[in-house]
Chains A and B, each alone.
Chain A
Amino acid sequence: MDISEQLNSANVTVDEVEPFLEVAPALVQKRRSQGRIIFDRFLRNRVAIGGALFLFLLLIFCFFGPLFWRIDPTQNNVLSVSATLAPPSLAHPFGTDDVGRDTLARAMAGGRVSLSVGLLSMLLAIVFGIGIGSFAGFYGGAVDNVLMRFTDVILAVPLYLLLFVLSASFSDGTPKSVIFLIAIFGWTYAARLVRGEFLALKEREFVLASRTIGARDFRLMFRHMLPNAAGPIIVNATLLIGINIILESVLSYFGFGIKEPDASWGSMITVGQGIFDTDPWLVLVPAFLIFFTVLSFNLVGDGLRDALDPYMTER
């Protein structure tokens, strides 16, 4: 164990804290880990908790809603004219679509697809982007050149072209392949963002200081520098969720992922797109669900960013 780790280790500080604890217990703060401090700060942020709560309700709506709203989301009804494109009513609170399927039931079923695709592909893309970006930014030179030119190549290939090419060979994409395909295109922004931040951060004094007391590269990168780059990463993650939900519907248009009659929020928008002037509900319902999802993710993300911010004063 070298000196720096000894200084940081718990038993040194606990010995010093104990005596004060006996004299004036109220004045001594309990020692908390970095993660605990961040979590406590997050809990104190009422707006962020509101966002988290709303997200939780949204998940309950999508995953447990069908227990109470028992209409089959794939059940069409084309035999009666009044059953198709019906306006909102008691039987169908959000109306019905062009083949008479209940929009509320489809919103629940579609949410399960859209939320899981949006979230998981965001996570994959962000983790990969952070990996590429932090290595490129931290090591610079040849590492940076190779990784960033690779990023340039991915950015230069239009998504539509690749989808056209792939649609010929893969006709039945599973939801898993959709998540991967979206993530393959999603990581470039995160990588360049993290790299840009790291280029600036590695010249800062705190990095020099931690290096002086013997912090190794990985500790510097992921413990000291990454939390300082949290702002843009969280913004990017929030935006990615919205983008990915829409992208999923583009992919299903090319024959990947979920297909009719199964629903997703993105494909519900696609269906309603052509008849927006007469039946705006079909677009507005999924669009608002996406809006609320992205908004509450943003509130949670902002709370997380504030909690990670070392300049945030505790009150």
Chain B
Amino acid sequence: MGRYIIRRVLQAIPLLFFLTIGMFLLIHLLPGGPEAVLFNPRMTAAARANLRAQMGLDDPLFIQYFKWLTSALTFNFGYSFATSESVAAVIARHFPPTLELFGTALSLALVLAVTLGMIAAVRQGTMTDYGLTVLSYFGIAMPVFLLGLLAQDIFGVWLGWFPTSGTSSLGYTLTPFQALLDNLQHLFLPMMVLSIAFSAGWSRYMRSSMIEVVKQDYMRTARAKGVASTSLLLRHGLRNAVIPLITVVAIDFGAVAGGATITEGIFGWPGMGLLFIDSLDRRDYPVLLALLMIGAVFVIAFNLIADILYAVMDPRIRYS
């Protein structure tokens, strides 16, 4: 296993290198360049040329790429075209909110999906099962923006329980503890919306594979030997039913660097999703390229974690 992990990590290096080329080309294929979006229309031709040169846009593409690559190898990802900040600073500002939102929402979704999926599987064909099925398909068919708007209307405006946007209340002096509470209050609605959206789909995978597992002989044997039903499901059942869930959850967790564009947009949550859309609109090449590469690292890392977890959950799985 150790050798397999090392090999996979080594494989990731040429893959990421290949992806830098692909992403770089894709970004430069975007219609319209940064100058069309960022430059002042009243600028003189000389000033415009000066700015282009400053941004390094006059060099041939492969020179631009090598300049980026050599500085990226020393962890210098350049400066944002839009704000002139260093790319690392921009991302360092947007990543924590997304990590907070995604981390809490996806963890909650995972607990919800496993619990609801297992209940539906054990009660297969009963009203409980059909009720949960209808509920989860409601979550799946309901567009996220609609869920977000409804949550804002009901819990934010109508009941007034939670703030509707941002990460903290402005204009107050708060002790660290109050600030944390305030932040959690802001987190609640977007987190719930996101976790409902994810758990609806995940619970279906859980239910489907659990249905197959509860019928197996070893489950009946364990029950006959007197294993309590909760621990039977969690210790004996879950282990064998969880592979599809691991697969899907890992892919969805891998999207963390992309942020949750719609949810972040509705709740004004200043995360990676908003940053990506903004940089795409502004053709902010350096930020965009850094975002895409971080996204690729996460995708590769989480799929590797999934492969490791397969072997942990089912020791029969071997990667020769």
Could you list which residues of chain A lie within 8 angstroms of chain B, going by C-beta atoms? 47, 140-141, 144-145, 148-149, 151-153, 155-158, 160-162, 164-165, 167-168, 188-189, 192-193, 196-197, 199-200, 203-204, 231-232, 234-236, 238-239, 242, 246, 269, 273, 276-277, 283, 287-288, 290-291, 293-295, 298, 302, 305, 309, 311-312
B306 partner residues in chain A, CB cutoff 8 A: 192, 196
B145 partner residues in chain A, CB cutoff 8 A: 273
Which residue of the partner chain A has the closest CB to B130?
A: A47
* Total interface residues in chain B, CB < 8 Å: 60
CA distance A192 to B145 in the complex (A): 28
A196 touches B280 (CB 8 A): no
Q: Is B317 an interface residue (CB 8 A)?
A: yes
B292 touches A231 (CB 8 A): no
CA distance A287 to B145 in the complex (A): 12
Chain A nearest CB from B47 CB (Å) reads: 27
Known: A145-B11, A238-B204, A239-B204. A158 touches B141 (CB 8 A): no
A199 touches B26 (CB 8 A): no
B15 touches A149 (CB 8 A): yes
Q: Count contacts between A and B, CB distance < 8 Å.
A: 155
Chain B nearest CB from A240 CB (Å) reads: 10
B141 touches A242 (CB 8 A): yes
Within 8 A of A (CB), among B30-46: 30-31
A168 partner residues in chain B, CB cutoff 8 A: 29-31
A290 partner residues in chain B, CB cutoff 8 A: 141
A-B contact pairs, 29 of them (CB 8 A): A140-B320, A149-B15, A152-B300, A152-B303, A155-B299, A155-B303, A157-B292, A158-B292, A160-B280, A161-B292, A165-B30, A165-B31, A168-B29, A168-B30, A188-B251, A192-B303, A192-B306, A196-B246, A196-B310, A200-B316, A231-B209, A235-B208, A236-B205, A242-B140, A246-B143, A276-B149, A287-B142, A294-B140, A305-B211
Task: Name the segment of B98-106, B131-139, B187-195 touching the other chain.
Answer: B131-139
CA distance A156 to B258 in the complex (A): 10
Could you list which residues of chain B lie within 8 angstroms of chain A, going by C-beta atoms? 11, 15, 18-19, 22-23, 26-27, 29-31, 125, 130, 133-134, 137-138, 140-143, 145-146, 149, 153, 201, 204-205, 208-209, 211-212, 215-216, 243-244, 246-248, 251, 254, 258, 261, 276-277, 280, 292, 295-296, 299-300, 303, 306, 310, 314, 316-320
Taking A160-B276, A291-B137, A291-B138 as given, write out 12 further A-B residue pairs in contact, using a Cβ cutoff of 8 Å, ordered by the A residue number.
A155-B251, A192-B306, A193-B248, A196-B244, A200-B317, A235-B204, A242-B141, A276-B149, A287-B146, A291-B142, A298-B137, A298-B204
B208 touches A152 (CB 8 A): no
Which of A157, A277, A305 gathers most chain B CB within 10 Å? A157
B15 partner residues in chain A, CB cutoff 8 A: 149, 152-153
One of A165, A192, A235, A291 near B251 (C-beta < 8 A)? A192
Which residue of the partner chain A has the closest CB to B209?
A: A231
Chain A nearest CB from B290 CB (Å) reads: 13
Known: A273-B145, A276-B146, A287-B143. A161 touches B209 (CB 8 A): no
A277 partner residues in chain B, CB cutoff 8 A: 149, 153
A141 partner residues in chain B, CB cutoff 8 A: 320
Chain A nearest CB from B137 CB (Å) reads: 4
CA distance A162 to B280 in the complex (A): 11
B318 touches A203 (CB 8 A): yes
Q: 10 tightest CB-CB pairs across the interface, nearest first?
A: A291-B141, A168-B31, A232-B244, A156-B296, A203-B316, A231-B208, A311-B215, A295-B137, A196-B247, A156-B299
CA distance A293 to B22 in the complex (A): 38
B137 partner residues in chain A, CB cutoff 8 A: 291, 294-295, 298
B11 touches A232 (CB 8 A): no
A158 partner residues in chain B, CB cutoff 8 A: 258, 276, 292, 295
Which residue of the partner chain B has the closest CB to A273?
A: B145
Which residue of the partner chain B has the closest CB to A280?
A: B146
B143 partner residues in chain A, CB cutoff 8 A: 246, 269, 273, 283, 287
Which residue of the partner chain A has the closest CB to B138?
A: A291
Known: A156-B299, A287-B146, A295-B141. A165 touches B310 (CB 8 A): no
A148 partner residues in chain B, CB cutoff 8 A: 303
B244 touches A231 (CB 8 A): yes
Chain A nearest CB from B291 CB (Å) reads: 9
CA distance A277 to B317 in the complex (A): 52
Which residue of the partner chain A has the closest CB to B149?
A: A276
B295 touches A193 (CB 8 A): no
A140 partner residues in chain B, CB cutoff 8 A: 319-320
CA distance A145 to B258 in the complex (A): 25
CA distance A18 to B200 in the complex (A): 52
CA distance A151 to B300 in the complex (A): 10
A156 touches B134 (CB 8 A): no
